[in-house]
Amino acid sequence: MNSIIHLENLRKSYFMGNQEIPVLKGISLDIFKNEYVALMGPSGSGKSTLMNIIGCLDTPTSGAYILNDKDVSKMADDDLAEVRNQEIGFIFQQFNLLPRLTAAENVALPLVYAGIGKKERMERALEALKKVGLADRSHHKSNELSGGQIQRVAIARALVNNPSILLADEPTGNLDSKTSSEIMEIFSQIQEAGNTVVLVTHEEDIANYAKRIIRLKDGLVETDKLNEHLVV
């Protein structure tokens, strides 16, 4: 079975003058199609750096990163941007919606960059909004939506390109607990529909929605286990 994400002895260091500061110290792991994985770890564990590399926002200092059979670890920035737009749907803690656009127009933005015509863009945007239960809010602007609805729009935007991976960074960080549960239910439904979900969080109750939990500590994988406390 081919992994969608294959990391082999991945290392990342930052340099301050002559001083090398190692952040990732040799990470090897595989994530397979349709998995639901949480990446956890305290501040300084390297989880944000690992997420940036998985998301093709940064490249490793050494080691291999194979994404969907493409070696992205040594790609130039332009090629990396293309892979990122095709393969990865991002959901951030800050919703990053454009306030002057409607929900549907926000969702359609990645398709504008992909050069897809307006009619197909709107059809696909409405389909993505339907997946997150917001078809009836497609013409609303973000100031007319609640925090939970705005995050649903952001999830729909991440889905609209049919990416290989959904990468969510602390996706409930700005939401109350009831809304957080609703958002996490949507991720579960998305994964059950066949998508691969990678969730970065420091909250145990959020990680427990995932089926596999990888914990980082000091730039290494500390544990990698199936979740025994799955929230059903």
Domain-by-domain residue ranges, the chain? 36-51+77-226
Kindly give, in sequence order, each residue whose CB lies less than 8 Å from that of residue 80, ignoring residues fewer than 6 positions away.
56, 59, 72
- Give residue 133's pLDDT band: very low, low, confident or very high (50, 70, 90): very high
| pLDDT tens, residue by residue, 52-102 | 999 999 999 999 999 999 999 988 888 998 898 889 999 987 768 899 999
Share of the chain above pLDDT 90, in %: 78
Query: What is the rounded end-to-end Cα distance, in angstroms, of the chain?
Result: 26
* pLDDT for 14: 94
pLDDT at residue 1 tops 70 = no
Under 8 Å CB-to-CB from 195, ≥6 apart: which residues? 34, 159, 166
Mean pLDDT of the chain: 92
Q: Residue 95 has what DSSP assignment?
A: -
Give 24's pLDDT tier (boundaries 50, 70, 90).
very high
pLDDT tens for residues 196-210? Answer: 999 999 889 999 999
So what's the pLDDT on residue 228?
Answer: 86
137-174 residue pLDDT tens = 999 998 999 999 999 999 999 999 999 999 999 999 88
Q: Average pLDDT for residues 24-44, to the nearest whole number?
A: 95
List the structure tokens of 127. Answer: 């389909």
pTM of the model: 0.91
Alpha helices in the chain (DSSP H): 47-54, 77-87, 103-113, 118-131, 147-159, 177-192, 204-207
Q: What is the pLDDT of residue 232?
A: 62
- Within 8 A by CB and 6+ apart from 68, the residues are 4, 87, 164
Q: Which CATH superfamily is domain 36-51+77-226 in?
A: P-loop containing nucleotide triphosphate hydrolases (3.40.50.300)
Place of tokens 């093709």: 56
Residue 174: its pLDDT value, please? 82
CA gap 169, 93 in Å, rounded: 6
